[in-house]
Amino acid sequence: MIASQAVITGAFSLTNQAVQLGQAKLMAEAFANFLVAFGLLASPQPGLAQTQNSAQRGCIISLNKEARERLLSSFAVVNTHFQRLFTELFAGGTAELRLIENDDPLEAGLEIFAKPPGKKPATLSLLSGGEQALTALALIFAVFLTNPAPICVLDEVDAPLDDANIHRFLRVLRELTSQTQFLVITHNRKTMEAADILYGVTMEEPGLSKVVSVNLAAAAAHAG
């Protein structure tokens, strides 16, 4: 029973790694590859194939259960942040994320239902360009609040926004800078004015570009 014991030991090892890393599907595939390789290398023994299949099924069921629990838990947190940020960015209204098309969260799709102030509830595709941009920003920021990253790059996300929306966007962005550094590519004057450090490209001579920078935060502190 040495071969069977090795299979079982390998199964427990891979299952523990999967739970620790949260990489359910990847570890399930790794486990399947392990079984195949071990089956090719080990000498045939009665009941070994049945043991492998049973261990593989049990491992995959356990991994999928763990993945569903983690997905639903993270989804609930993101949805809560999204609802709050949507209301802040729109100065009212409501919105929510819904899993659709399948009862299994691992196979389900994602739909955004939004109701800007004074409008009927609608899916994202039925909103105007500015409304879509604000809704998308609410979702991006909700994800960063749930799982913060050290840096985020936003490329011209403020282009469709009017001055009132720009003001609310910058207010929310400033709140998030306590845990994430944002690099914003923009042509909007108000966004530039809100930056701590401003980088620009100028062409002093034809065909010769030059990068210049201004530390607005330091300048404001010095002036104060």
User: Which residues does 118 contact at the CB level (< 8 Å), separation at least 6?
Assistant: none
| pLDDT tens-digit map of 146-180 | 988 899 999 999 999 999 999 999 999 999 998 89
DSSP 44: P
Domains of the chain: residue spans and CATH = 148-224 (3.40.50.300)
| 4: exposed, middle or buried (Cβ count in 10 Å: 0-12, 13-18, 19+) | middle
Whether 212 has a pLDDT exceeding 80, the answer reads: yes
| pLDDT tens-digit map of 84-136 | 999 999 999 999 999 988 888 888 888 999 999 999 988 888 888 889 999 99
The mean per-residue pLDDT over the stretch 172-191 comes to 92
- Which tokens is 50 given? 């049945």
pLDDT at 30: 59
User: Which residues does 52 contact at the CB level (< 8 Å), separation at least 6?
Assistant: 7, 35, 38, 39
Q: Count of CB atoms within 10 A of residue 62's CB? A: 16
CA nearest neighbour of 11 among 43, 40, 35, 42? 35
- Give 185's strand partners: 155
